[in-house]
């Protein structure tokens, strides 16, 4: 059967991978065994996808990203150039800790900026936005904007990637989509 995805001739794809229709895998990338990559993903140049990683539909992985065992990205996630995941909280070269990989979950629609670092064992909420160079050391709420080292919650973002400005009633609108959001009890939700 003919494959339904594109892989550049320099890409290495190990046996036992599940790669969705319409996905593109670019120069010098390595897709390791037992990983799952959804439909219509884009895997940039020089990317490593380690065993057992799961990427949902329409995930965009920019150049020079390593996605280590223990990471799951839901659909519509954006991973910026050279961003970093970890999977061991206390790595040592002389101690093998493969049985201690911590899980990291990136929820639907989240974006992680260039050169950001995600310390393992954390969850990035739906549509959260991790700024370039930020270091995430704890769970991130949905729609949260995180910046700095260590990463600090500095605001809220819409699903279209615009900073939300809430009025005195806790309401905001995305300037592009005009969708409405409510801030209540320290959490943001989109209004239907």
Give the pLDDT confidence of 133-191 residue by residue, as tens digits: 999 999 999 999 999 999 999 999 999 999 999 999 999 999 999 999 999 999 999 99
The pair phi, psi for residue 30, each rounded to 5°, is: -125, 115
Q: Examine the domain organization and report whether 140 and 61 are in the same domain.
A: yes
Give the pLDDT confidence of 37-85 residue by residue, as tens digits: 999 999 999 999 999 999 999 999 999 999 999 999 999 999 999 999 9
Q: In whole angstroms, what is the distance from residue 162 CA to residue 166 CA?
A: 12
Q: Examine the domain organization and report whether 143 and 172 are in the same domain.
A: no
- Are the C-beta atoms of residues 137 and 151 closer than 8 Å to each other? yes
Asked if residue 1 belongs to a domain, the reply is no
Can you name the residues that pair with 182 across neighbouring β-strands?
171, 189
Give the pLDDT confidence of 3-30 residue by residue, as tens digits: 899 999 999 999 999 999 999 999 999 9
Question: Does this model's pTM top 0.75?
Answer: yes
Give me the number of domains the chain comprises: 2
CATH number of the domain at 138, please. Answer: 2.160.10.10
Place of tokens 């799952």: 36
Q: Examine the domain organization and report whether 178 and 103 are in the same domain.
A: no
- Are the C-beta atoms of residues 42 and 77 closer than 8 Å to each other? no
Q: Examine the domain organization and report whether 67 and 17 are in the same domain.
A: yes
Q: Examine the domain organization and report whether 192 and 113 are in the same domain.
A: no
Q: Examine the domain organization and report whether 110 and 36 are in the same domain.
A: yes
Q: Examine the domain organization and report whether 59 and 73 are in the same domain.
A: yes
Domain that holds residue 174: 163-192
Q: Examine the domain organization and report whether 118 and 173 are in the same domain.
A: no
């Amino acid at each position: 059967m003919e494959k339904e995805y594109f892989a550049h001739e320099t890409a290495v794809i190990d046996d036992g991978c599940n790669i969705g229709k319409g996905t593109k895998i670019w120069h010098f990338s390595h897709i390791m065994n037992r990983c799952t990559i959804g439909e219509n993903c884009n895997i940039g140049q020089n990317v490593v996808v380690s065993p057992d990683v799961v990427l949902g539909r329409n995930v965009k992985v920019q150049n020079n990203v390593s996605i280590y065992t223990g990471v799951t990205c839901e659909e519509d996630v954006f991973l910026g150039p050279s961003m970093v995941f970890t999977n061991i909280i206390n790595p040592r070269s002389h101690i093998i800790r493969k049985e201690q990989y911590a899980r990291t979950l990136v929820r639907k629609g989240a974006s992680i900026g260039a050169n950001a670092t995600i310390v393992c064992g954390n969850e990035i909420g739906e549509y959260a936005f991790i700024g370039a160079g930020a270091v995430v050391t704890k769970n991130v709420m949905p729609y949260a904007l995180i910046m700095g080292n260590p990463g600090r919650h500095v605001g809220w973002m819409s699903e279209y990637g615009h900073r939300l400005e809430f009025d005195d009633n806790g309401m905001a609108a995305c300037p592009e989509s005009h969708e409405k959001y409510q801030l209540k009890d320290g959490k943001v939700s989109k209004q239907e």
